[in-house]
């Protein structure tokens, strides 16, 4: 039997020269499933994604494996140097398939349902990041994001391009962008301890409720190890509940084990795992 991919829909153009297409997985011309390939461009680097993989017929016969390998060939033909797949938490079959094909975990999505307004330490103060601090804060956040991106596989020029594009897209009006919360944490002497960037309505959960997203949370290097990261996350939860949002999500790169332990101790649970590999 011959397993191939057949276009299901016309190709969709994406911003910056990207492209996406939905395919049927066919055995001897008969559809048994489907998947989607997506190309995103970051500067000169092209990064691929395989998503929506499903096998609806003839399961446990390697159709998903062959389909994924064929999708990788499509992405190589599109000039991609790397590829990502996103695996829902608890989907052991999808996780085993990804590992078998050589994918390794690079990022986690975590989320928490918010029910109780947390208390913050009385000696600490949260203050907005306004025009006088915004540019310095933005440069600091971009630098940290670029560092994380290069650590997860992007080249330096591609990481700079992606960081610039992502921040321009999300912070369209700078510190006054609607639907965001930019906060600094300070002690009783006014000393800066850390910062928080929260998008209050990042999406909708399966129940139709809005989901907020932690875009960036960081403690100043000289003040780490004193629980301020935990305080910033509790501040994020307070901001969400004040805005009527009861679910908070975030991304964390897998190598940041200190942050992962912090989020888990606060009740955040993994919802998806992003896994990747080189196509070179």
pLDDT at 100: 95
Residue 78 tokens read as: 């599109």
Q: Is the pLDDT of residue 280 over 90?
A: no
**Hey, where are the domains in the chain?**
3-80, 112-278
pLDDT at 60: 66
Mutual orientation of helices 156-170 and 131-151 as an angle, nearest 10°? 140
Among 34-38, 70-74, 147-151, the range scoring the smallest mean pLDDT is: 147-151
pTM of the predicted model over 0.85: yes
* Cα–Cα distance for residue pair 92/229, rounded to 1 Å: 32
Confidence grade of residue 149 (pLDDT, cut at 50, 70, 90)? confident
What average pLDDT score do residues 50-75 get?
88
Confidence grade of residue 268 (pLDDT, cut at 50, 70, 90)? very high
Residue 87 tokens read as: 């695996």
Q: Collapsing DSSP states into helix, strand and coil, what is residue 50?
A: strand
Residue 175 tokens read as: 């510190």
Identify the DSSP state of 204.
E
pLDDT at 57: 63
Cβ contacts of residue 269 below 8 Å, gap of 6+?
Answer: 89, 110, 111, 112
Residue 18 in contact with residue 39, Cβ under 8 Å? yes
Q: Is the pLDDT of residue 206 over 60?
A: no
Print the SS3 string covering 160-201: HHHHHHHHHHHCCCHHHCCCEEEEEEECCCCCEEEEEEEEEE
Confidence grade of residue 122 (pLDDT, cut at 50, 70, 90)? very high
CATH classification number, 112-278, choose in 3.20.20.370, 3.40.630.30, 3.40.605.10, 3.30.470.20: 3.40.630.30
For residue 270, CA distances in Å to 84, 98, 113 come to 17, 17, 12
Residue 112 in contact with residue 273, Cβ under 8 Å? no
Residue 215 tokens read as: 């875009």
Reference 137, options 171, 179, 187, 178; nearest CA is 171
Identify the DSSP state of 222.
G
């Amino acid at each position: 039997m011959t397993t191939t991919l057949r276009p299901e829909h016309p190709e969709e153009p994406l911003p910056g020269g990207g492209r996406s297409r939905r395919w049927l997985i066919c055995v001897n011309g008969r559809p048994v499933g489907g998947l989607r390939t997506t190309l995103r461009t970051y500067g000169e680097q092209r990064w691929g994604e395989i998503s929506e993989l499903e096998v609806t017929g003839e399961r446990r016969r390697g159709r998903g494996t062959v389909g994924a390998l064929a999708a990788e060939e499509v992405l190589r033909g599109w000039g991609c140097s790397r590829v990502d797949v996103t695996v829902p938490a608890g989907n052991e079959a999808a996780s085993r398939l990804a590992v078998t094909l050589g994918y390794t975990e690079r990022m986690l999505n975590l989320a928490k349902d918010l029910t109780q307004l947390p208390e913050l330490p009385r000696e600490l103060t949260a203050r907005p990041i306004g025009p006088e601090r915004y540019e310095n804060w933005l440069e600091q956040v971009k630098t940290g994001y670029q560092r994380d991106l290069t650590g997860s596989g992007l080249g330096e020029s591609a990481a700079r391009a992606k960081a610039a594009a992502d921040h321009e897209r999300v912070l369209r009006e700078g510190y006054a962008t609607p639907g965001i919360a930019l906060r600094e944490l300070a002690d009783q002497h006014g000393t800066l301890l850390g910062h928080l960037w929260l998008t209050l309505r990042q999406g909708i959960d399966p129940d139709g409720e809005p989901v907020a997203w932690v875009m960036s949370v960081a403690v100043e290097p000289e003040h780490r190890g004193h629980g301020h990261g935990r305080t910033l996350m509790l501040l994020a939860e307070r901001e969400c509940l004040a805005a009527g949002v009861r679910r908070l999500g975030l991304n964390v790169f897998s190598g940041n084990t200190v942050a992962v332990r912090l989020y888990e101790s606060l009740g955040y649970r993994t919802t998806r795992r992003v896994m990747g590999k080189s196509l070179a």
